[in-house]
Each structure stands twice: as C-alpha cells, then as structure tokens.
Amino acid sequence: MASIEQQLQQQVLQAYHDKTALEICAGGSKFKPSNGQAQRLDVLPHSGIIEYEPSELVMVVRAGTPLAEVQSALAAQNQMLGFDPPFASDGATIGGAIATGFAGAGRPYYGGARDFILGAKIINGRGEVLQFGGKVMKNVAGFDVFRPMAGALGTLGVLLEVSIRLLPVPPQQKWISVICEDQAQAIEWMNKAHFKCTTLSAAQWQDAAIMMRLSGTPQAIEYDLKYLPAYAELGVSSDAALLAVAERRADFFAGSDCIFRCVLPPAADPIVLDDVQQLMDWGGAQRFIKASASEQRRIEEQVTALGGRAMPLLPNRLHSPLAGTAQELFSIQKKLKAALDPYSIFNAHLMPQVS
Amino acid sequence: MHATSLSALKQKLSAALPPDCFIDDAVRMAPYECDGLSAYKQMPQLVVLPENVEQVQAVMRACQETRTPVVPRGAGTCLSGGATPHPDGIVLSVAKLNQILHIDEKNRTATVLPGVRNLAISQAVAPLGLYYAPDPSSQIACTIGGNVAENAGGVHCLKYGLTVHNVLQVKMVLLSGEVVTLGSESLDSPGYDLLALVMGSEGMLGMIVEVTVRLLPTPPVARVLMASFDDLGKAGEAVSAVIAAGIIPAGFEMMDKPAIRAVEDFVHAGYPTEAEAILLCELDGVEQDIEPQLETVTTLLKKSGAVEVGLAEDEAQRALFWSGRKNAFPAVGRISPDYYCMDGTIPRKALAHVLQTIAALSKKHGLAVANVFHAGDGNLHPLILYDANKPGELERTEEFGGEILDLCIAVGGTITGEHGVGLEKVDRMCVQFSDEELAQFRLIREAFDPDGLLNPDKAIPTLNRCAEFGAMHVHHGKMSHPDLERF
Ligand SMILES: Cc1cc2nc3c(=O)[nH]c(=O)nc-3n(C[C@H](O)[C@H](O)[C@H](O)COP(=O)(O)OP(=O)(O)OC[C@H]3O[C@@H](n4cnc5c(N)ncnc54)[C@H](O)[C@@H]3O)c2cc1C
C-alpha cells in the first residue's frame, strides 16, 4: 500500500498534470476550508513525531501532527517551541503553525517560526518531494528554501516534515502588572525593560496596565525586577491571557467593530486617534486598534509615517501573512511562487496580494 | 571575455562612475584574485568600487546589458571561494560603501552600508550598552554584506543566533538595477520571507547595499570555564549533558590535542597540552544568575569525565582563554606549511563517531589534522595540515576533506555550517541534494537573476557537473543521474 506521503504526492502530481487547484487542509483551526472549486489535499493523516532527541534541541515531525501532541512531548522533557504558536486547543497542526507563522507573545524575545525552522521536506507544485535544510543548527548549503515556507500559507509547497529548533523551559516564570495610563509611557517602559531585563519574555499593554512575563532562573528574575517601575506581582500565570490575545479571543476582539493590526518598530510613538481602544503586544511592536472601518486611511497614514504597517483583521480576527505585499516586491514574489509552483495549484485563494 | 564587450562595459561604466572607482591593472587587481581560500586564484577583467547605491545600480544594469558576470565582494575573507573572481567578469567591491548610516537607540537597531565591518558595528554602539551578536572569528575584517551573503555565525550563535536571526532588513540591487527592500523594521513583513531567502545566498541573488541589524544589550558579566578531558568522546558527551540540563551557554567550543598544542605554542593561553580535548564554556548574564549556573555546569562537566575544570579568574584570563580559540587557525598555520580548513555540521550525538572516523581517515591519507569545533551547535572545523609544495599533497588533502564532508552528510549533518559552498564544495552539493532539489535551487535563482550573471558557477552545481562528479559518487545509496552518460 502506498504511504500517506506517496498518496499526497500522487494527488499533487495529478493536479500538476491536470493543472487543477488544490486546497491544502490540516487542522482547520485558523482558516476554514473555502467553498471554492479546489480539491482538498488533507495533510492531517500525515502525523507523528519522527525524531526527538532532547539533548540535540531538535525535533523532526510530520506536518499533520497536532500541536498539542508536539507540546506535550516537549513538556515531558522540559522543552518547548520558542515561537508560542496559537490554537493548539483547536486542533492546530505543527504544519499549519509553520505555514501561517503566527506567533504568540514571546515573538520579540525568542523569535518567530522562521527563526526556529531548521529544515523541511516539501512537495512542490511539480509533485516533487524535496528536502531542504536539515536538523542541525548551522547549515548554509544551498538556499534556505525551507525558511520562506514559514508564513507562506502553503502557497509555495505542501509541508510534509519540518525540523524545529527547541528551547529549554525556563526554570521559573513570573507575571507582573504595572499600572500605566499613558500609552507613550507604556511604550517607553516596555522598551526599557527589553533593554534592561534579559528575562523579559512578554510585554502587553491594555486597560491602563502593562503585563510583563519574566522567564529565567530565580536569580536572574530577581535581578531584573529591580529595574522595573512600581509593579504588582500576579500570583498566577497570565499565559492564558497572553494566549487569548494571540488567538484573538480576548474581550478586546469581541464585537463587530473593525480591528486594525499594526506592526511597527517597538518604540514607535503612539498612534493618536480619539476614542478608540488600543491594545499593545510584543513590547509595542504589534498594536491592535479597535475603530470604525472609516478610520482606515488615518490609521494607515500614521502607522506608515511611524515606519510600520497597518492592516484590518479578517472577519475571523486573523490576518493573512501574505496580504499587502509592496508593489516593488510583487514581481519577485510571483517569480518565486512560479519557481516552486508553476501552475499555481496550491491554495490559490490565499495568494499574495499587492497593498 | 571579448575585448569589444569589455570596452562596451567600460564605456557604460565610465559614464556613471568617476575614474577612481575602477581598478584594471594587474598589480592593483592582484589582491582581488582570491578570497580566504587562496588555493583558488583567478584574475577578473575589472574591479569596480562604487561609492553609492545609484552607482551600484548603474553597474548592475551595465553588466546585464553586456552580459558580464558580476562577483560581489566584501572583505574577501570567505573560506569557500565564494568571492573568487570570474575570468570574464567584474568584481563588485563594497570597499567604498562603508558608512554607518543610522543608529536607532530606542528601537535597538543600526542601519549600515554593506562594507561596514562586523566588529565596527559593535564598537560604534558599545557606548549605548549595545552590541551586534553574531561574531565570526573574522569579525575584525569581514563585512556585514558578506555576513548576510554567508549567513555567518560565530562563537556566540548558539545562544544569540546566526545572521538570519539578527538582521531585520536588507536593501538589495538586482541585476536589472532595481533596488528592493526585503524585511522591515517591524517583526513581520507581508508576502514571502525573501529576507530569509537572501541570507546565505552567496551573492547569487543580488548585491546587498544596506543592512539593518538588531542590537542586543551587552550582558553585564561573562565568565568562561575551561574543562580538560582525556578522551574526545567524553568531551562530546559533556556538551550534550550541559545542553540537556537546559543550559544554553553563550559559547561552547572544543579543541583536540593537536589544536591545543599548536595554540599553546603560539599564544600561551594556559591550555593543558596533555589533554585529549578541552572545552571552553562561556556563560553570560548577570552575576547573581551566573554564579549558580557555573556551579551546575562544573558539576555536569566533571560528571561527564572532565579531568579538570577551571574558571577564568578575571577578564584578562577570560580574554586569554578565548584568544587561544580565536587564534587557532593562525596557530595551526605556524606548524604546517599549509592547512585546509573544513567546515561541516553534525548532530552533536555523532561527535565521537565522527572524530574517530576523521582520525582513521587521517592515518589513511597520511595527513595530520587538528580539530576546532563550535561544539554547542555541532559545527566542526577540521584543519588538515599539508604542504602544497609536495606533489599530490593538495589533491590528497581535498580528497580527505571531501570524505569528511561525506561523513557529515552520512550522520545527518551538512557540508557547510558557516563557510558556504562557493567554488570549493560545489561538487559536494551533488551528494547532499538530489537532482530535483538542485533544479529547484536553480529555478529560485532565476527568479532573481534570469541571466545567471551573479556569481556564476558558485554554490549550485549544474546537472552536468553533478554527472561528472556522480561518476565517482553514489547519492543516498542510489547512483545519481542514471539517465546521463558516464565519462
Ligand atoms: C580566519 C577566519 C575565520 C573565520 N571565521 C568564521 C566564523 O567564525 N563564522 C563564519 O560564519 N565565517 C567565518 N569565516 C568566513 C568569512 O569570514 C565569512 O563568510 C564572512 O561572512 C565573509 O565576509 P566578507 O566580507 O569577507 O565576504 P567575502 O569573502 O568578500 O564574500 C563572501 C561571499 O559573499 C558575497 N558577498 C559579499 N558581499 C556581498 C554583498 N554586498 N552583496 C552580495 N553578496 C556579497 C561574495 O560574492 C561571496 O560569495 C572566517 C574566515 C576567516 C578567514
């Protein structure tokens, strides 16, 4: 009997041959299958951890493996994924986590999916099974084709296997809250903390308070606390609250108002708008603004002037990592796509668009 | 190159650049005939040193129009022949593009031209308590543009990452003359991550003309431990033991006996010359944090069989310990007429096996080898000692080196951890990658450079080249290119 990998490859070969569209599906936790004409390519059965040697700090895993399974295997060895991928409890897979590149609150301090991926086995749009990168930390043989797979939403190829660099779980974590009405002040404090505190691993501002997470040895955390403005130690973990922002389940995201996601240099000045609610994540580098859709122009203008980029969230409260490509890059992006998927068979509905 | 097209090129260039931006006499071009891998030498047609981005654009356009190969060049410290000139082409040097444009203290970034030296960035931002983390041993000389092109790593990349993890944005001139900005000063940019693709692309996708790097706060304290072992395998296990305990040292380096002895004779770092291996393990952070960690690491090292573990007493001794490691290459250069620096990465657990096999290969080829090793991330640098004046010795050395690389692949590693493929390892790419994978690389390259004029013949072999090489080699147990005629 053909292996699942061979079955997937067969399906892609057929689509390549017939020039028909495929929609890559896995856990369905982030983007629900579209109602388009495309045939579904289901990666979910391609599941299981292939190699995990804790002392190498590397895991090789099939793309359809549930994130929850990966996380619990890691937790058993006191290790973790560095990029905090969301939606594990909704059935997200590791492949989907890489393909979307969505990262949680630790993003500025630990890195994103693209920083932790060490290699990938893919099926390209010609139905070829290819392996790029590897399972070692340092590897400069050939182009890092695996890295742009992070955030490509499957449009560059089907992820079959990924190898991922891991982190040890920090010996201790503390969550603290700093009262801060003034947004400019909050930006300054979060950035100072990033500079001063090696254990800072999350910093969020909403409802006139900064929430910070410190992760490290008790001694290092103790040391860092000295540098923080007046704070209250939260007795319990705030990780659920941090995750709720990454998964857009926090109260802030409720309701029918338009929400804009802005990514900026972390110390950029506040975006000034009257009577809107704002939430800052990633130490100021990711900001959400709840405003009426008519504010889009004003927000975009300000954010662009601050050196960043603003985008309205999709109805599912997520954003497409491919949306809003700069015009000057569009032609290379299209050529890169064609180099991997000449007939655009993969996930045509998620393709990059020009801003 | 045809004299007519060279003069056509020169004509176009002299319209765009002042005369002191060209070198075309053999004497002044001589320093450009090779990079750090001096076994490969080649005179270019012309060396061009633009002073600004507009001039780079003009040069690229002129080269595309005249179909002239372009070899980008930083400081020329590349160890794989990546910056070796093309006989029909120009060398495009960043020597005059060497200003730091902007330091953004609040956002902890610096924007620099590609010719700025790696160490110069850290020096410029040191007064702010910041530094640029990737620190290749060549950092006093190598340029940030070259670092991006090679995705350079350093002693501290186990904890702080490679170039790819520390660069936010790159501006690059395509062969068409167009300037593109890849990445941004935010944490994500829309569309495909082209920035990641350009990291380590060895000058084949475009000329890098501006780089924005992320800066990190300088750790208040750094302490280094030296552990000596009477057995290489035990030293390897010690490395895994520390990492398995959840400690990520800032630097974790290993040297074997021949390397230790060469270094000790040269810099008198206080290394134990009777040891089979030493490990240098650096921890950084705040004093209160490091003290207990030093104890834990010491215990782990001793448990793994370290004969002795010593802590550098003060900053001077720490610098001395490191100077041994950082001078390992020149130290080996003193004891042998020539040496060949190899570069491969292996999973750490394969270390003992790989080092034993290298020792056996060393016997077989009758060539001594000294091993220095970024142990923490499995990146090994065997230095093969040889004498280029002895007939056949370079050939034997290359064969030996090739076998080491095959070994790296066989244990699940790679043929280059940080020095790049360049000209040197282009044949070995046929061992590590299948025909389809190599074809995919070529297609990606064409997306940026359809004419294939940027650093031709480097890094990605043609199918024919692989067929020639494959006549001697077997890929993943299969004869490669069964469809092509053997010769
Ligand atoms: C003693 C010694 C120690 C070393 N130690 C390390 C180490 O620890 N870690 C490590 O990673 N490397 C190390 N290297 C290798 C080398 O220093 C690095 O690869 C470095 O990044 C090369 O930079 P460079 O400026 O010298 O580039 P060059 O050697 O001039 O060029 C390297 C490659 O980059 C391309 N290139 C250069 N500039 C540009 C540009 N602006 N745009 C596009 N392409 C460009 C060239 O075409 C070439 O392919 C060492 C080398 C030496 C000699």
CATH code of residue B256: 3.30.70.2190
CB contact under 8 A, A140 and B188: no
Rounded Cα–Cα distance for residues A188 and A195 (Å): 11
Asked whether residue B153 falls in the same domain as residue B178, the answer is yes
Rounded Cα–Cα distance for residues B89 and B72 (Å): 11
- List chain B residues with CB under 8 Å of A134: 345, 412-414
Q: Which of B217, B232, B249 is the last residue of a domain?
A: B217
Number of Cβ within 10 Å of residue A230's Cβ equals 7
pLDDT at B479: 46
CB contact under 8 A, A223 and B289: yes
Asked whether residue B345 falls in the same domain as residue B322, the answer is no
Cα–ligand 1 centroid distance for B382 (angstroms):
19
pLDDT tens digits, one per residue of B67-88: 999 999 999 999 999 999 999 9
- List chain B residues with CB under 8 Å of A303: none
User: Buried b vs exposed e over B62-78: b needs ≥16 C-beta within 10 Å?
Assistant: bbbebebbbbbbbbbbb
**pLDDT greater than 70 at residue B481:** no
CATH of the domain at B79: 3.30.43.10
- Tell me the pLDDT of chain B averaged across its residues: 93
**pLDDT greater than 90 at residue B6:** no
Assign A145 a pLDDT band (cuts: 50, 70, 90): very high
As a whole number, mean pLDDT of residues B384-388 equals: 94
Give the Å distances, CA to CA, from A348 to A205, A280, A320, A343, A351: 37, 32, 13, 10, 5
CATH of the domain at B196: 3.30.465.10
Cβ under 8 Å to B: A residues 112-131:
112, 114-115, 124, 128-131
- List chain B residues with CB under 8 Å of A308: 185-186
Asked whether residue B44 falls in the same domain as residue B164, the answer is no
Asked whether residue B480 falls in the same domain as residue B399, the answer is yes
Q: Which of B312, B331, B350 is the last residue of a domain?
A: B331
Asked whether residue B461 falls in the same domain as residue B347, the answer is yes
CATH of the domain at B422: 3.30.70.2740
CB pairs under 8 A between A and B: 255
For ligand 1, atom 7: residue with the closest CA: B136
Assign B254 a pLDDT band (cuts: 50, 70, 90): very high
Give the Å distances, CA to CA, from A199 to A217, A218, B97, B131, B460: 8, 10, 37, 18, 42
- Owning domain of residue B171: 100-217
Tell me whether A54 touches chain B (CB under 8 Å). Answer: yes
- Tell me the pLDDT of chain A averaged across its residues: 95
Ligand 1 pocket check: which of B142, B424, B455 to mutate, most ligand atoms within 8 Å of Cβ?
Answer: B142
**pLDDT greater than 80 at residue B487:** no
CB contact under 8 A, B180 and A217: no
**pLDDT greater than 60 at residue B477:** no
Tokens representing B275 are: 């040891």
pLDDT tens digits, one per residue of B107-134: 999 999 999 999 999 999 999 999 999 9
Asked whether residue B340 falls in the same domain as residue B479, the answer is yes
pLDDT tens digits, one per residue of B48-70: 999 999 999 999 999 999 999 99
Q: Which of B316, B331, B346 is the last residue of a domain?
A: B331
pLDDT at B473: 52
Does ligand 1 lie within 6 Å of residue B455's CB atom?
Answer: yes
**CA A245 from centroid of its chain's CA atoms:** 12
Does ligand 1 lie within 6 Å of residue B201's CB atom?
Answer: no
The 3-state DSSP class for residue A159 equals strand
Rounded Cα–Cα distance for residues B441 and B461 (Å): 10
As a whole number, mean pLDDT of residues A93-99 equals: 98
pLDDT tens digits, one per residue of B27-37: 999 999 999 99
Cα–ligand 1 centroid distance for B77 (angstroms):
5
**pLDDT greater than 90 at residue B464:** no
Rounded Cα–Cα distance for residues B206 and B175 (Å): 6
Asked whether residue B342 falls in the same domain as residue B472, the answer is yes
pLDDT tens digits, one per residue of B243-252: 999 999 999 9
Output the DSSP codes for B205-261. S-EEEEEEEE-EEPPSEEEEEEEEES-HHHHHHHHHHHHHTT---SEEEEEEHHHHH
Containing A335, the helix (H) or strand (E) segment is helix A327-340
As a whole number, mean pLDDT of residues B384-407 equals: 94
Domain tally, chain B: 4
**pLDDT greater than 90 at residue B352:** no
Higher pLDDT, B483 or B64: B64
Rounded Cα–Cα distance for residues B224 and B269 (Å): 13
Higher pLDDT, B487 or A292: A292
pLDDT at A326: 87
Rounded Cα–Cα distance for residues B331 and B340 (Å): 13
pLDDT tens digits, one per residue of A194-237: 999 999 999 999 999 999 999 999 999 999 999 999 999 998 99
pLDDT at A34: 78
Asked whether residue B472 falls in the same domain as residue B341, the answer is yes
Closest atom of ligand 1 to B148 CA is 21
Assign A2 a pLDDT band (cuts: 50, 70, 90): confident
* Nearest residue in chain A measured CA to CA from B198: A143
Rounded Cα–Cα distance for residues B378 and B405 (Å): 13
Does ligand 1 lie within 6 Å of residue B114's CB atom?
Answer: yes
pLDDT at B475: 45
pLDDT at A311: 94
Asked whether residue B34 falls in the same domain as residue B171, the answer is no
Give the Å distances, CA to CA, from A161 to A25, A301, B61, B75, B425: 15, 41, 41, 38, 27
Does ligand 1 lie within 6 Å of residue B94's CB atom?
Answer: yes
Cα–ligand 1 centroid distance for B149 (angstroms):
7
CB contact under 8 A, A151 and B193: yes
Give the Å distances, CA to CA, from B199 to A108, B102, B131, B167, B386: 20, 22, 20, 9, 33
pLDDT at B472: 58
Assign B482 a pLDDT band (cuts: 50, 70, 90): very low
Assign B471 a pLDDT band (cuts: 50, 70, 90): low
Asked whether residue B113 falls in the same domain as residue B32, the answer is no
Percentage with pLDDT > 70 across chain A: 99
Closest atom of ligand 1 to B374 CA is 8
Assign A33 a pLDDT band (cuts: 50, 70, 90): confident
Ligand 1 pocket check: which of B73, B210, B418 to mutate, most ligand atoms within 8 Å of Cβ?
Answer: B73
Asked whether residue B240 falls in the same domain as residue B156, the answer is no
Cα–ligand 1 centroid distance for A133 (angstroms):
20
- The single residue listed with the structure tokens 């990079």 is B35
Tell me whether A227 touches chain B (CB under 8 Å). Answer: no
Asked whether residue B375 falls in the same domain as residue B455, the answer is yes
Give the distance from residue B271's alpha carbon to the nearest chain A alpha carbon, in angstroms: 27
Cβ under 8 Å to B: A residues 207-226:
216-217, 219-220, 222-224
